[in-house]
Amino acid sequence: ESILTYVDPFWTAFSVREACEVLVSFQNAIDVEKPNVIMVLHENNFWTKSLAYLSWRSNIPCVSGQEGLIRARDQVTMRKQSTSCTYSDLMLVWSESAKQSYIEAGVPSHKLRVTGMPHLDVWLELASKPGWKKMSRMELGVPEGSKLVIFALPLLSRYEGDFGKAITELVNWQRGKPVSLVLKMHPFD
């Protein structure tokens, strides 16, 4: 069926116009700046995939990042892992297991590099300061000598499972153990 059955003509026309403007603008920027390399956040976004495409077309190496937490259903329903490194020469992924997921989805292993989570680099800066660990533990209320478990959640709308049940299980597991538990919600929650 026609896309116009589901999308108003206004949105179709202006979306196509906006996409064309972005492609022309990005290409003009590449022509003027003549970069040696282009870095994009990730290729699972229309705008950054467009820039990665133009980078590829212009023979300029492109480096992209892993979009976020890899979910099996995203590969099944949208082929997100398969299409996440179409134009990039190198994709920075968070872990060996993430790398394996991308390889299983068809991304060549030579295009993948395990780097960890680059957006957490602020912690690397903190780690270079004396006493940062002790100060951080004090701010969290973690007793000295206690082990620490952190449960860092994705957006609750993306959480796979029962959030309440998971918290209850963690609290019950922690009870009576010399372990401190910290729950970290996603910044958008």
With bands split at pLDDT 50, 70 and 90, how would you rate the model's confidence at 124?
low
**Burial grade of 122 (CB within 10 A; 0-12, 13-18, 19 or more):** exposed
Looking at residue 114, its pLDDT comes to 92
DSSP SS3 for 43: coil
**147 token code pair:** 């082990």
Q: In this predicted model, which residue has the larger pLDDT, 88 or 13?
A: 88
**Which residue, chain included where needed, has tokens 């077309």?**
57
Which residues, including other chains, have CB under 8 Å from residue 158's CB and lie 6 or more apart? Answer: 69, 71
pLDDT tens-digit readout, 37-65: 999 999 988 889 999 999 999 999 999 99
Q: Which of 1-15, 105-119, 126-140, 146-160 is predicted least confidently?
A: 1-15
The verdict on pTM exceeding 0.85 is: no
pLDDT tens-digit readout, 135-188: 888 887 888 888 888 777 778 887 888 989 999 999 999 898 888 888 878 778
Which residues, including other chains, have CB under 8 Å from residue 64's CB and lie 6 or more apart? Answer: 39, 40, 41, 42, 43, 48, 52, 84, 85, 88, 90, 91, 92
Looking at residue 108, its pLDDT comes to 96
